Every structure is written in structure tokens, then in C-alpha cells.
Chains A and B, each alone.
Chain A
Amino acid sequence: MGAEQAWLLAAIPAGVFFVLALFGRYLPRGGDYLGVAAIGASFVLFFFVAADFLSFYDFEAHKTFITESISWSEIGNFKLRQGIHVDAITIVMFAVITTVSLMVNIFSVGYMKGEPRYYWFFAVLQLFVASMLLLVMADNLLLVYISWELVGVCSFLLIGFYWEKRSATEAAKKAFITTRIGDVGLLIGIILLWKETGTFDIQQIIHAAEAGEIGQTYLFVSIMFVFLGCMGKSAQFPFHVWLPDAMEGPTPVSALIHAATMVVAGVYLTARLLPIFEAADGALLVVTIVGLTTALLASLIAFAQTDIKRVLAYSTVGKLGLMFVALGAGSPAAGLFLLMTHAFVKALLFLGSGSVILGTHHNQEMDKLGGLWKKMPITGTTFFVATLALAGLPPLAMFWSEDELFASVNHEWGLWALVLAMLAVFATAIFMVRLFIRTFAGEPRDRQVHEHARETPLVMTGPLVFLCVLAVVSGLFVFNGVGSALGFPGGIGEFVFLEEPERYAIDWTLAGISLAVAVAGVLIGAYVYWGNSLVRSTRLAEAMPRLYAALRNKFYIDEMYQYVIDRGVLGVSYVVSWFDRYVVNDTGVDGSAQVTGYSGSILKYLQTGRVPNYAMAITLGVVGLTVAGLLVRA
């Protein structure tokens, strides 16, 4: 089992998908064990792949990849190959995806118990993971696009899992269509890159871009189209609207979407193609600006949300923005490191909130929760750790990754970007504390909910604990010592890099500021939201009613889109339908038929029905034709 067989990682869950989809309903327990086993197998295989990859690793050149491809189709010069490409980025993504997916799968066994279509949930989950794994190991953009779309359709199926609920269906539709609009850009970008380089192979395209074989403007335009796809998938402004609504799916699905699959696809692809972004002047700046805008916007909106999952969703949007900021600073290490730590933390948070939801019998409104820590100690503790981690407190994972981020942003763009990024982190700290306090701490707001709350079974708390450990330690991967001890060439910066490896050195000033920001955020949050009365926060909201309303309504972006869709897109469709019905069909087609009929109704009077008239017509016709013929000949 070497890295060349990495495709097995995706193939096993994919195979199980077919088994479960076709026969799942006949299997005992809906075949959930098959699902867990499949992803467990992928998880185990990942270690073999990683070990094999590291055994190949060229410590001198500091860069290694393993690639394997087969010919797929050939039309003249248009040759398509499909294959896998395993390198450092792939290994990191594998680690994140397999780990989180496995935890989500195990958690779902408890969470989804007794749901209708239990087997179907697990089936689609397998396909979801398989597509994502395929996406990160694809060696060409065509395969990237294929798995990209498969990820999209799986998210559609999972978000809309409770299809009896109109809101779930609508959310699924919104997710699919919003990302699909980005995908239009992606496909255009891919084909534009192909047009210039004649290949879909990612490495060859990167070579071509780096060698300057593609004109600057052309390269910029095409990579921006590709980036549109990344924005859509990764819920960047202005495509971020689908992600909060995607909460309508079962909570484990949210965990998967937010942490390991779907949204990180955009980050992954940007990281993968980062050399091209670098080669195109200005592309990185666009990435940074999009990332910062999204991060700030999402952090603000999260303040005014009351649904646990919705708050978490906006925090994801914000963190995704920060990942793009990291990538925009030209540091794939920072971006992927943030992706990884965030994945563990966010999976933990979502599974934790899933645990809360199940423990309180499907209640996810913060206004009805509170004081749950005592009732649900394990969930509460892990959630607490995750909250602090997301807020960026040391020594928890996200502190280190955000530190890396700040360092690279500072280095690349200077103070303005650094300040904005920190602002986003600061806001995150505040609303995460708000979330935790209102859910777990203080006095219960709804007695009934509180009394029926209970801790969830081991199959759910187990993954929580495991992820909690990762949320604490995964940040340490930044240190070279830790990396080397695990057999890696060093810390994340030495493993994933663009041009040359960066040795991690902690910048005490930045770290201090970052720490200060996080602590300040946490304290302010605690001050504002502590206690049951909500006096301070209410006063705050009342002080700025319009801002509060704007935040509460997510800056009216959804309403704006709705307006555009209703009035714009559907309006055009009505116009086209009208045009087709009345102009093309009734006027053009039926109209010509009517003209024929009308002429007939006039000309019919020529048919007197009297034989002599007809005979006369014939005779005159003969005479006329003869004369005409003679004239023509003369």
C-alpha cells in the first residue's frame, strides 16, 4: 500500500455508497456500520499513504509528489487523462477529511438513530466524503471540477435530508444554486486555462503560468473565474448566503460541511493553484480583499443571531475569510494550517451543538437554553475548550494558526490588513463567548427544556473528546520539533510552502497582540453577556437600533438577492415565456397558420362548384400558358 494507491481512499467510501444506496434499506441498522467501516478504512489507509509519502520524501529538495494517471479519452489532440497527485497539501487535506469524517460518522450513528431514511443518510455521507477525497487528490482540473460538482450535489442531498420541511428543501436548493453560479466561473476558468496551455493537468498549468507562457491579463481573468468557483464553494461574500441556511440539514452534516468537506474545497483549490495566483498580478490582492470583507461581515452578523448553529455558521464564514486572507498573503502553510485547526475545532463545536440539540430534544434556540453545563458535562467541557480555541486563546490550536496568519499578513500587506484581520478575530471571540454563556452557563431560561436535558451516549461524546484533544494539540504542529518527531520534514511551514520552506519562529510582538485581542474579546463578551438578565446586551442593542436590525437581518443581503431573483431572473423568465407563447408561437406559428386559413376562406369563393366555370378556367389557363410560352421563346 503506497501513495500511488491513494485513490483507494475515495474508492472505498464510493463503493460503500452504492452498496448502501441500493441495499441499505435491507441491511440491519441500515448498514451504518458499513459506512463507519468504509471511512474508518480510509482513515487507516491515510496513515499508510502518509507513511509511504514520507518515506519517499526528498529532504534535500524539500519537495515531493507522487502522481499516477491513466488515459481516459482521446479525440485527436484532445487527450484527457485522469489521475491522482499526492503532495504535501493533499496529505494535510487527507488528514483533515478522514479524521473529521470518521468522527462525524461515528457521531451520526448516535445522532441519527431512529430517523427515517437512516441508510440513505449514511450512503450519501459516504459519497460526500469520497468526492471530497477525490477532489483533493485530483491531478487535473477536469477531475477537480467533477468531484467539485459531486460534492455540491451531495451537499444538496444532505442539506435537504429532511425534505418534508419546506425550509430544508429551500436551503438545499439555495446551496446548490449559489455554489453552482460560482461553478459557472470555475468551469469557464478551467476551460480558459486549458485553451492557453492545452492541458488540464494542474502541475503543467502551474509550470506554464510560472514560466510566463500565458499573458498577464489573460491569466488574471481566467484565475479570477476559477476563484469565483472557490468563492461560491467556500461561501465568500457575496456567495456566503447559502452556508447559514445550510443548517437545515442534520447537524452532523453541518459539521462535515463546515469542517472537512464542501466549504474547504474552495480554500483547497486556491491553495493548490496559489502559484498561478502569484503569477497573475493583483490576484492575491483580490483574494485578500474578498477574504477580509467576508471575515468582517460575517463576524458582525453573527452577533445578532440566536440560533446556535447559525452563529457557528457565520463564524465559519468568517474563518473561511481568514483562510483566504492567509492564502492571499501568499502563505499556503498558514491557510492550510488554519483550515486544519479550524476543521477540528469547528467539527467539535458543531457536534457539540448537535449533542445539545439531541440532549434537549431538538432545541437550538439560545433563548430557550442556558445552564446546560451541569446537565451535559462532557459536551459542555468540550464545547468550552472549542469556544476558547476558536476565540484564539493559547495554547489551543487556533492560536498558533492565527499567529501564523498574522505573521504572513503583516509580512505581505502590512498594517491595514493585519488590523482588519485582528478585528475579525476579536469579534469572533466576543460572539463565541456569547454563544457559550447563553447555552451552557447561567440559569436555564426554559425550565422544561432544561429538565429534560441529559448527556448524550458514548457514541456521540467519544468523537467530541477525540476532537477536543485534537483541538488542543493540533496547533503544536506548527513547531518543527513536533513535525520532525512525527516523521515530517518539520512543522507545517516546512511541509507546505510555495517557494521555499519557512521555519516557524514565533514573533512575540504579534503573538502578544493577538493574545491581547483574544483575551479582550473574551472578557468583553463575558462582561456583556454574563447573567440571565441580558441587561447590558439589550441596552447595547437598543443604543444602536438600526445597526442591530441590520445585523439581525444579515445586512438584508438575502432580501436583496430574493428581490433580484424575483424581479430580475424570474421576471426575465416570465417575459421570455410570454414572448415564446404570444410572439413566437401565437403570432409566428399559429399566425402563419391563421393567414393560410384566412386566405383560404377568401379564396374559397373562387370555387363556384359549377363545372363550366372550372372548364373555362382550364381553357383560359391553357391559352394563357401557351401564349406565355410563346412569348418566352420569342
Chain B
Amino acid sequence: MTFDEGQGYAVLATLAAPLLAALILVFIPGTQKMAVRYVAAFFGAVMLGLSIYVFVAYQVDGEQIQMSLKWVWVENTAFLGKDGIVLNLAVDGISAPMALLTGVVAFAGTITSWKINYRNKDFFILYFILLAGVYGTFFSFDLFFWFFFYELAVMPLYLLIGVWGSTRKEYGAMKLTLMLVGGSVLIWIGIFAVFNEANLGTFDMQRLFAAGNDGTLSPTFQKVFFPMFVVGCGVLAALWPFHTWSPDGHMSAPTAVSMVHAGVLMKLGAFGIIRLGIQMLPVGAEFWMPGLMVLGVTGAVYGATAALTQRDFKLISGYSSVSHMGYVLMGLATMNQIGITGAVLQMFSHGVMTALVFLMIGALYDQAHTRDMKDFGGIAKVMPMWVVFYAIAGLANVGLPGLSGFTAEFHIFVGTFQTYPVFGALAIFAAALAATYMLRMFSMVFFGPFNPRWKDLKDLTPLEAMAGALLIASIVVMGVWWAPFTDRIGTTVAALPGVVG
């Protein structure tokens, strides 16, 4: 067993941990609510540990793809040739930080869900299946399994929102699921088209990437199918104008699901654009990127503008997610090393800070049962820690230096200015709008005269504080010392086809 192979098992373990958790939970009686919680928290911690290991163990100056582990699933039958469908797990410089993000957010979400009392066994089973899907998507280098895990991550959402959600949950869950599945259909068609066009009889991504580069996938084909992947994945990444599930979905989703969904799942979409779009169809990417840039900028400005006058916390966060994911798409569309690195940084940054925001919203909503900002005022008096945590998340959203949002946005802006200065300026302007809506919320909710209706509100519980502290630590580390991230992402991004140094 070589070193690399051993690490491959670490990746496998990271993927298997949530599945194992779900399996164990199946055998715990639903009435044993505390046992369920302990098991969930234990596996959350295991996932966090393994994710950190995967991130740290990724060798910065090693090969692009490390910790590889292959297990042939089906080959040499009917239409499949050698290595037809292979469970091919590996990590590259982009998925390493994404795995870390998943670990952090998943753990925070797990301990946040401690207080769920209604059918918490079923909740955690679905929750862990979702997480397994997320990990699998980040780790898979096989198109078939990539899509399998992608769907595995999306499907449990319907139940998680529909059963444990709040405000208009059926509508939110249905809309979200239908839109995401609509996107999946496009991806699925695209995957088969690529399989057919490459005619290699394999779903191995690396061979298909090579096919995309050496012209086996003809330029015309790439130009036709690139939009399919971008729209299909873009739905999940809140690509304008396919973003409307985001405000409604977030409004209905329970706290932990909002955290994981906005924190990690939305990143799957952007990740898919990198994997399926840029890596597999480089010619198509080059052709369509200006269009994606326009959509990204539109989303960034549009989301920020719409957030200005919202009154529901979650709607603000939903729209601000649209805006921030717009930055991610802009970063990807720059097609230069700094911009795409910035996009991946933003994926991480938006993940942790949005998770924190939803954690805070949940902590308030569970007590206040309203999310209308007009009802609040002077909450800092009764929930000081909550306010500090939320403020940090909000300021990270705004792009305050020293917090992760700035690091990411800065790289995106620099990357965008390299190719599209005007769009870059617009994006910076949208960041100023972000300051406006965030501060508007701060002053409406946190500050001002205290509304005595809320005198009984309790501050964060120790568990929530722990989850929040973990997320804040990630935000601050990335905001101050971003070299570990850029080292990993930058080299991998440089190796992407068509990317300018």
C-alpha cells in the first residue's frame, strides 16, 4: 500500500462516514432521540476531522490529482469499454478546499440540529445522505458517479424542506426540487452526449477531459453543449435568471438545511461548471464565457439591489446569496488564473459565511417565530453574542478585509479587471450595495430602541455558539492568511485548459 493509496482510503472514509452514519441511524429506534443526536454529532466530528485531513494532506507541490482510489464498477459490457464506470475517487486543488468547507459546514449543521425534536432520526438520515452526495460529487472523477452523487445530494432536500421546513414549505420545497431536477436533466443529457461524442466507452473524467482538449469533442459540439452544462449546474449555483428558488427555498428550509444548502450545495453548481464546463469543454467555455460573465454581473448587481428593500432575514440572505454566487460565476467567466482562483475562494467563503448567517437566523427564529425585521429592534441588548456573530457574518458578506469575503472578492475583482474592467467596476459597486443592505439590517434589528416584546429572548446556546465559533474561525483564517487556500487552488486552476496565467 503506497502512501497515495493510503490517502485514497482517507478520501473513501470521508465519503463513507456520512453513509455509515445514515446506516447506523437506521437501526436506532426513533424514540431514542438522544442516542440519535450523539451518533449524529459523533459522525459530524469524524467528517470534520477527515475533511481537515484531506485538506491538509493535499500536497501543494505534488501532482494535480492526489489521493486517488479506483474501483471498477462495470466495464466491457454492451456500450461500455475498459474502465466504463469506475468509482474513481480523488482530490485536486479545487475539491480539497471544498471538502474542508463541507466538513466545517456539516459539523456546524449537525450540532445546530441538536434541538430538532420532530422525527430527528429521519432528519439525520436524510441529512447524512445529502452530505454523502456532496462529498461524492467533490471527490468523483467519473462522470457517472459524479452525476449519481450530485442527484444524491439534491434529492433529500425535498423531504428535508417539505417535512422540517417553515414558511410555505411545500411551495418552497417543490419549486426548489423541480428547478434543480430540471437542471439535472440538462446535465444528464449533456453527459450522454459527451459520452457518445467522445466514443471512448468510458465515463472516466480524465479521459474525457483529454478528449475535450485534443479535439475529439468537436468545437461545434462543445459550443452546443456547454450552455447545457452551465445552465444545468447554474440552476444550483443560483445563476440569474434561474435563481428564484434561492429566496423561497431558503425561506422555507430548516436551519441546518439552509446552512448546508447555501453553504455547500450551491457550490456544487459552480463546481460542476468547472468540472463539466471548463475542464471538459474548454472550447465551448472560451466561446461562452462572456455570456456567463454578463449573467454573473447581472446576478451580482440584481441580487444586491433586490436585497436592499427586503424585510425577511432569509430573503435578504437568499438574495445576497444570489449576489455572491454571481461573483463566483464572474470569477469563473474571467478564464484567468486569478479570477477562477477567486471564484473558488468565494465558494468557500460564501459557504462558511452564509452558513453562519443561517445559523444565526435560525437561532432567532426558533424563539421569535417571526423573521420580519420591522418587528425587531435593539436585539443587541438581549442577545449580544448573537449580534456579534451575525455582525461578523454580515461584515464578511460586505467584504470587510480580514474576513474571508474580502479575500475572495478581491481576487475576483482583480481577475475581472484583467479582462472586463467595466464589469469589475460594477461588481465592486454591488459590494457597496451589500454594505448598504447589511447595515440596514443591522440598524433595524440589532440596534435602535429596544422593543420590550423581545425581553425573553435567550442568547445563543453553547452548541450554537460552538458551531458559530467554528465557522467564524474559518472565516477569519481565510480572511487573514489565505495562502493555504490559494496555493492549493491556484496551481490546479493554472492547469485548467484555456486558463490564462
Contacts and interface: CB of A to CB of B under 8 A. Distances in A.
A163 interface: yes
A192 B295 CA distance: 23
Given A577-B306, A589-B175, A72 B483 contact: yes
Interface in A553-592: 569-570, 572-574, 576-577, 580, 584-585, 588-590
Given A146-B401, A576-B302, A589-B179, A188 B428 contact: yes
Contacts of B306: 573, 576-577, 580
Contact of A73 (B248, B307, B483): B483
A156 B398 CA distance: 13
A505 interface: no
Contact of A188 (B179, B307, B424): B424
A78 B337 contact: yes
A313 B50 CA distance: 56
Interface string A504-531: 0000000000000000000000000000
A181 B428 CA distance: 10
B308 A77 contact: no
A35 interface: no
A176 B435 contact: yes
A187 B338 CA distance: 16
Given A75-B338, A569-B308, A580-B302, A164 B449 contact: yes
A180 B428 CA distance: 10
A68 interface: no
B249 to A, nearest CB: 12
Nearest to B322: A580
A76 B337 contact: yes
A308 to B, nearest CB: 25
A146 B486 contact: no
Contacts of A147: 401
Interface residues of B, number: 60
A286 interface: no
Contacts of B431: 184
B417 A166 contact: no
**Could you tell me the dominant secondary structure of chain B's interface residues?**
helix
Contacts of B310: 577
Interface in A65-111: 72-78
A365 interface: no
Interface in B323-369: 337-338, 341
Nearest to B387: A163
B239 to A, nearest CB: 12
Nearest to B450: A164
B482 interface: yes
Contacts of A146: 401-402, 406
A149 interface: yes
A346 interface: no
Contacts, number: 139
Contact of B309 (A169, A173, A573): A573
B309 A76 contact: no
A48 interface: no
A200 to B, nearest CB: 10
A266 B380 CA distance: 32
A593 interface: yes
Contacts of A584: 241, 243-244
A150 B401 contact: yes
Interface residues of A, number: 51
Contacts of B493: 75
B501 interface: yes
A334 B248 CA distance: 58
A573 B308 contact: yes
Contacts of B428: 184, 187-188
A76 B449 CA distance: 51
Nearest to B337: A76
B215 interface: no
A569 B450 CA distance: 28
B501 A177 contact: no
A529 to B, nearest CB: 37
A195 interface: yes
B490 A74 contact: yes
A142 B406 CA distance: 11
B402 A188 contact: no
B231 to A, nearest CB: 14
A548 interface: no
A510 B247 CA distance: 65
A145 interface: yes
Interface in B380-410: 380-381, 395, 400-402, 406, 410
B417 A192 contact: yes
Contacts of A576: 302, 305-306
Contacts of B241: 584, 588
6 contacts: A76-B338, A142-B410, A169-B448, A177-B432, A177-B435, A577-B310
Q: List the 4 shortest-distance A-B pairs measured between CB atoms, nearest first.
A: A146-B401, A75-B490, A163-B447, A573-B308
Given A75-B494, A166-B447, 8 more contacts: A72-B483, A163-B380, A176-B439, A180-B432, A181-B432, A573-B309, A588-B241, A589-B175
